[in-house]
């Protein structure tokens, strides 16, 4: 039973809910039905407003984020009937690939308003005449901390998330956790988002993919939904693998002479890492992980042994190990930053240290260690397959360090701030991932430019919140002895707006509850009622037959249908004059997309239509810059070539 079932809300009473628990099952209500029923149950606990959104039904919830000092936010839920929408079709559905869905009768907007809007709410809340002066459409205002919209069939879109950096008192993680909890508990089916988030001039969907193989929203289960400019999921995955696996040694050799910051940055973070950073993915993963562990202010972070840690059971004393280390470092100094083979270093050191076992131990332990103001680098020569050593002066990398030649007891501490780290991240992002110039994008490095473009052209991500098979509304008998089945409908042949036959069931299936002794005639009426209430284009829908079950109307459903069976019904609209091309989210499917990039559907990018053949293509693919207007007259290459060919005929 809900924690609030025993509390009858008085008219006008406003409750305060805990932000971190709001939406959990039982807080404020048990969510055990289909999505639209769960939303209706939730709204029973909200405060109703009459004039907040141009007369559309609206509810608010006051949420306590923190008690001391007090911090509250407001969640607004707006019910938008399709008749009140400026556009019946949903462009977000069309762009993400859900254009075959029917237009739902209702949408539900979930909004955490900006601080300014919340303050305005507090001002009018106590005014006589509720919502005075607040008749503007809340859905059309910009800058909300969060705005998500659900269709009543459970498919939704996260339209915006604005965290602390945009002035919100909530962090992006807090907002996403809240949104994710709502989607899960309300039994949403799938939720999409359009990721164009940027931070300090960097595209986060590229930065996080290089570091973590997924976008920032991937932490909450959002995966590849649909690519623009013909990008497919296999292309996207190969681009991630290619850019993450780029060896740092090749980048260092290629880019080091173009920008002196690159070697210094590579060295700075290699010394901070407990493991070898071999690839571009390793480096960015370490950088972003380090940022998450650093406090905002400057601080001492970490400590490590600048020499070799000598175990208590080591056969050589710390003093002898330190002496051998000094000898090896001095021999590498004479090489003047040149790579020297292990055997050559060993031969020089043997003039001073006769114990070859000690030398072998020190050489094995010194790889990528700091000794004094030097970093001893060790690498396998890819040609000769021989270990080589090189000494690198890093006194200018950590100017605030007090670097001394240490032994097993001496520790070196260094200072690094988030500001310094983000400055380094921006340098690497701009030079390696973003500004690939002709001088740097030749050969193997051209792959970075191509992979980056593919990743950036992937902006739509989708989370599958609740599959039909795993929803809490599982088919079968419930505690009250009622039968739950998944059902869908198809329009009779000839009523398919896309042309051709209606030979596939309309997705998604709906969970329909009937008595365990119900007949198929009763099931038909219940399915018919559900779909009429759900979809705008089925308001007069009449079921005529069952497609995949051979039964008469008087047969009991339990006797014919096993648990988990999906049933498809066929019927038609009794109301005439319905424009079938307008009852689907993709509207009248009368435009042809045929672009050089491979796209054959509208993906939300800017397009231009040929004035002769009326085929659409991307302006970018037609080499029309984004900062230029689309020409008044445009001809595609094919039509232009045909005109040239005709003009050459006698």
What are the structure tokens assigned to 456, written together? 């950036």
Distance in angstroms between the alpha carbons of the first and the last residue of the chain: 87
In eight-state DSSP terms, residue 432 is I
The rounded distance, in Å, linking the Cα atoms of 209 and 216 is 8
pLDDT, residue 61, reads 94
Rounded to a whole number of angstroms, the CA Rg of the chain reads 32
175: preceding bond cis by omega (within 30 degrees): no
Task: Give the CB-side neighbour count of residue 309, counting CA atoms within 13 A.
Answer: 6
Distance of CA 77 to the CA centre of its chain: 24
pLDDT, residue 135, reads 43
User: Which helix (H) or strand (E) is 244 found in, with range?
Assistant: helix 233-244
Phi then psi for residue 39, to 5 deg, are -65, -45
pLDDT, residue 647, reads 64
Q: What torsion do the CA atoms of 357, 361, 367, 369 make, to the nearest 10 degrees?
A: -130
- Residue 452: name the closest of 440, 428, 434, 425 by CA: 434
The rounded distance, in Å, linking the Cα atoms of 77 and 125 is 16
Q: In what order do the strands lie in the sheet with 592-593?
A: 592-593, 615-618, 607-609
Contact 116/36 with Cβ under 8 angstroms? no
Helix segments in 110-223, DSSP class H:
115-125, 172-185, 204-212
Helix segments in 340-478, DSSP class H:
342-349, 356-365, 418-428, 446-456
What are the structure tokens assigned to 210, written together? 């290089």
Contact 539/102 with Cβ under 8 angstroms? no
Exposed (0-12), middle (13-18) or buried (19+): which is 223, by Cβ within 10 Å? Answer: middle
Q: What is the pLDDT of residues 515-541, one digit of tens each?
A: 888 999 999 999 999 999 999 989 889
Count other C-beta atoms under 10 Å from residue 520's C-beta: 21
What are the structure tokens assigned to 588, written together? 């009248």
Contact 638/613 with Cβ under 8 angstroms? yes
pLDDT, residue 393, reads 75
Exposed e or buried b per residue across 144-163, where buried means at least 16 C-beta atoms within 10 angstroms of its C-beta: bbbbbbbbbbbbbbbbbbbb
Cα-Cα-Cα-Cα dihedral sign, residues 18, 19, 23, 25:
negative
Contact 643/635 with Cβ under 8 angstroms? yes
User: At 141, is the secondary structure helix, strand, or coil?
Assistant: coil
pLDDT, residue 124, reads 56
In eight-state DSSP terms, residue 200 is T
Cα-Cα-Cα-Cα dihedral sign, residues 476, 479, 483, 484:
negative
Which regions in the chain score pLDDT beneath 70?
1-14, 118-136, 256, 295-314, 368, 394-415, 435-445, 467-481, 493-505, 563-564, 575-581, 588-590, 647-650
The rounded distance, in Å, linking the Cα atoms of 232 and 600 is 12
Distance of CA 463 to the CA centre of its chain: 9
pLDDT, residue 301, reads 35
Q: What is the pLDDT of residues 448-480, one digit of tens each?
A: 889 999 999 999 999 998 765 434 444 455 556
The pTM assigned to this predicted structure is 0.77
Q: Give the length of the chain.
A: 650
């Amino acid at each position: 039973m809900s924690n609030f079932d025993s509390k009858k809300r008085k008219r006008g009473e406003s409750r305060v809910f805990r932000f971190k628990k709001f939406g959990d099952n039982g807080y404020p209500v048990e969510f055990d039905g289909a999505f639209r029923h769960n939303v209706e149950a939730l709204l029973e606990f909200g405060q109703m407003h009459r004039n907040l959104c141009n007369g559309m039904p609206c509810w608010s919830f006051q949420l306590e984020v923190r008690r001391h000092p007090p911090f509250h936010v407001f969640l607004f839920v707006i019910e938008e009937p399709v008749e009140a929408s400026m556009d019946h079709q949903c462009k977000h559905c069309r762009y993400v690939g859900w254009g075959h869905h029917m237009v739902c009768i209702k949408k539900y907007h979930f909004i955490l308003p900006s601080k300014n809007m919340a303050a305005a709410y507090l001002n009018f809340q106590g005014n006589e005449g509720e919502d005075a002066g607040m008749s503007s459409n809340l859905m059309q205002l910009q800058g909300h901390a969060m705005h998500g919209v659900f269709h009543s069939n459970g498919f939704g879109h996260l339209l915006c998330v604005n965290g602390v950096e945009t002035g919100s008192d909530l962090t992006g993680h807090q907002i996403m956790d809240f949104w994710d909890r709502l989607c899960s508990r309300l039994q949403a089916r799938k939720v999409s988002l359009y990721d164009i988030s940027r931070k300090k001039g960097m595209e986060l969907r590229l930065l996080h993919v290089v570091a973590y193989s997924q976008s920032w929203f991937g932490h909450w289960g959002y995966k590849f939904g649909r690519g623009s400019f013909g990008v497919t999921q296999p292309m996207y995955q190969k681009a991630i693998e290619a850019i993450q696996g780029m060896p740092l040694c090749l980048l260092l050799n290629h880019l080091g002479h173009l920008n002196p910051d690159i070697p210094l940055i590579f060295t700075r973070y290699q010394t901070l890492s407990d493991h070898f950073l071999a690839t571009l993915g390793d480096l960015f993963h370490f950088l972003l992980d380090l940022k998450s562990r650093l406090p905002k202010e400057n601080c001492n972070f970490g400590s490590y042994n600048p020499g070799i840690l000598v175990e208590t059971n080591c056969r050589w004393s710390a003093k002898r190990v330190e002496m051998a280390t000094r000898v090896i470092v001095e021999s590498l100094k004479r090489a003047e930053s040149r790579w020297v083979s292990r055997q050559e270093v060993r031969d020089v050191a043997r003039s001073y240290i006769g114990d070859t076992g000690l030398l072998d131990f020190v050489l094995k332990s010194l790889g990528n260690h700091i000794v004094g103001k030097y970093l001893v680098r060790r690498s396998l020569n890819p040609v000769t397959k021989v270990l080589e050593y090189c000494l690198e002066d890093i006194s200018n990398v950590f100017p605030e360090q007090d670097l001394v030649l240490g032994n097993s007891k001496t520790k070196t501490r260094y200072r690094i701030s988030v500001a310094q780290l983000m400055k380094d991240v921006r340098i690497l992002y701009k030079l390696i991932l973003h500004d690939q110039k002709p001088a740097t994008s030749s050969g193997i490095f051209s792959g970075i430019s191509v992979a980056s473009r593919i990743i950036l052209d992937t902006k739509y991500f989708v989370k599958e919140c609740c599959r039909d098979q795993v929803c809490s509304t599982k088919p079968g008998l419930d505690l009250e002895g009622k039968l739950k089945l998944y059902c869908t409908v198809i329009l009779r042949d000839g009523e398919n707006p896309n042309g051709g036959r209606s030979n596939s069931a309309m997705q998604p299936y709906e969970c329909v509850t009937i008595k365990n002794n119900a007949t198929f005639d009763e099931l038909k009426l219940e399915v018919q009622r559900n779909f009429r209430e759900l979809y705008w284009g089925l308001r007069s829908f009449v079921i005529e037959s069952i497609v995949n079950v051979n039964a008469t109307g008087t047969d009991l459903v339990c006797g014919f249908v096993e648990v988990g069976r999906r049933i498809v019904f066929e019927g038609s609209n009794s109301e005439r004059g319905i424009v079938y091309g307008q009852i689907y989210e993709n509207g009248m499917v009368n435009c042809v997309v045929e672009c050089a990039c491979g796209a054959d559907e509208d993906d939300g990018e800017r397009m231009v239509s040929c004035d002769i053949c009326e085929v659409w293509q991307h302006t970018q693919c037609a080499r029309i810059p984004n900062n230029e207007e689309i020409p008044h007259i445009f001809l595609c290459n094919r039509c232009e070539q045909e005109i040239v060919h005709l003009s050459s005929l006698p």
